[in-house]
């Protein structure tokens, strides 16, 4: 089986968020896919089946080291680029069939970027006491005013604060983050703030409950933050965000609010590794 490692949300290789993409030419069980994802030990590994050129569509399953996800942003974008190369796909649009439904993906050949239209998020309010727990888990010495539980495929407890510098210097208690996430039945925590230029957001994502202490650049987390902005009454102006600098990455994400009310997530990608998965005698 051919595999690719795709670096997502960076115009330069090896400083974005990598995803492993496996083109399945044999049937793998759920347990086998999970075992491979655990061994690969990236934040996500995807498994592609049923590419249909006439329908411009393929199926995908997404696994973290800790379990399967219905949807995730950077794996979706990275997988689309790998499918484009592997199958020599020439169209500008392709659809991904995943547990969250059909995801429309758009290629921009002019600048090498790829964009997806995110599934419609939903918001659930959290209590003042839960906001206080959130602040404590993150090591914040200030109250969090804007926060909610956002289902963007994965479920993120998402917060907006006033200082991007505070976010850059966060030292969360990972045990408390995991406990808090588990209590709220969430994938993890997303926190963001607009920078001094008023156009760029700084974001960090913590998900120890699924085996990812800090996600270098999180697509669905950025969708969750974009939706929280919208639901908090902030102007739906397009913006970019940066993420991953604290873990030696340099992710750049573009958020676009479409006239349809949908949120589009995009960025640049690089295929950094390709090869063969040698598992002829692999069976669990």
Q: Which residues are catalytic?
A: 44
Query: DSSP assignment of the chain, as one string?
Result: -EEEEEEES-SSTTSSEEEEEEE-SS---HHHHHHHHHHH-SS-EEEEEEEETTTTEEEEEEEETTEEES--HHHHHHHHHHHHHHTT---SEEEEEETTEEEEEEEETTTTEEEEEPPPPEEEE--HHHHHHHHHHHT-SS---EEEEEESSSEEEEEE-S-HHHHHT----HHHHHHHHHHTT-SEEEEEEE-TTSSEEEEEEEEGGGTEEEESS-HHHHHHHHHHHHHTT-----EEEEE-GGGT--EEEEEEE-TTS-EEEEEEEEEEEEEE---TT---
Rounded Cα gap, residues 71 and 233, in angstroms? 26
Rounded Cα gap, residues 244 and 203, in angstroms? 8
Tokens matching residue 186:
């969430």
- Alpha carbon 108 to its chain centroid, in Å, reads 20
């Amino acid at each position: 089986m051919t595999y690719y490692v795709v670096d997502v949300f960076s115009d330069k290789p090896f400083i974005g968020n990598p995803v492993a993409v496996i083109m399945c030419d044999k049937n793998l069980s759920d347990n086998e896919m999970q075992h491979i994802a655990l061994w690969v030990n990236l934040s996500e590994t995807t498994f592609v089946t049923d590419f249909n050129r006439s329908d411009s569509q393929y199926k995908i399953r997404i696994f973290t080291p800790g379990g399967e996800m219905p949807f995730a942003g950077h794996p979706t974008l990275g997988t689309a680029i790998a499918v484009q190369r592997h199958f020599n796909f020439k169209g500008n649009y392709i659809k991904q069939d995943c547990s969250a439904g059909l995801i429309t993906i758009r290629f921009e050949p002019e600048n090498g970027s790829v964009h997806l239209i995110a599934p419609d998020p939903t918001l659930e309010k959290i209590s003042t006491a839960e906001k206080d727990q959130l602040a404590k888990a993150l090591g914040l010495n200030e109250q969090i005013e804007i926060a909610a539980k956002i289902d963007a495929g994965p479920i993120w407890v998402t917060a907006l604060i006033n200082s991007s510098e505070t976010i850059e210097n966060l030292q969360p208690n990972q045990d408390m983050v995991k406990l808090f996430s588990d209590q709220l039945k969430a994938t993890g925590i997303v926190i963001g703030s607009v920078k001094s230029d008023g156009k760029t957001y700084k974001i960090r994502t913590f998900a120890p409950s699924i085996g990812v202490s800090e996600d270098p650049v999180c697509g669905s987390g950025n969708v969750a933050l974009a939706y929280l902005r919208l639901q908090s009454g902030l102007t739906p102006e397009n913006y970019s965000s940066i993420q991953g600098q604290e873990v030696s990455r340099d992710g750049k994400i573009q958020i676009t609010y479409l006239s349809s009310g949908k949120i589009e997530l995009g960025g640049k990608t690089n295929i950094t590794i390709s090869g063969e998965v040698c598992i002829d005698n692999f069976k669990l």
